[in-house]
Amino acid sequence: MISNGFFKPMNRKLHLSCIVGILALTGCAAPGPSVPFQSGKNLAAARAAVQSCSAAASKGGATTLTTSYIGSVLGLGVVGPIVVASNQRSIRDKGAAQAADKCLAEQGYIRRDLTTAEVQALNSRNRAERRVLLNHLIGGGSVQSLGPRG
């Protein structure tokens, strides 16, 4: 049995489970490049939806970080906040992304993670071509269905 200083002595397996759980939670990275997807929508509509969700995303990131600090103290004692502090940016980003996803889902959008080929296609195009490709991806298309330089 070990004691974390705040609570009754904990079973060693339970304590290790808490450590692994907190580390797994704090190590989660925010999602990669993505677009909000809704059939028939375009870049302008998606941009407006994302902007309307920015406050919810910011609040979600802060809430997730606060919850992580509280959970880390309960699970790891004094060491917990150190673990969270070293990962606070990724924790906040993950919470913000989840809150934005929830807000966008209420408007009928879902997160569509971009493939490596789609990211490369976007990066290789000029501004006007990127806009066309983003409109196509947001509406449900793919790089292949758009053509070589659509």
- CA–CA separation, 95 and 25 (whole Å): 11
What is the mean predicted confidence (pLDDT) over 102-130?
92
Q: Which of 30, 3, 27, 98 is nearest to 59 (CA)?
A: 98
pLDDT tens digits for range 62-79: 999 999 999 888 888 888
Residue 24: pLDDT above 60? no
All residues at 6 or more sequence positions from 132 whose CB lies less than 8 Å from its CB, including other chains = 146, 150
User: What are the structural domain ranges in the chain?
Assistant: 12-113, 114-150
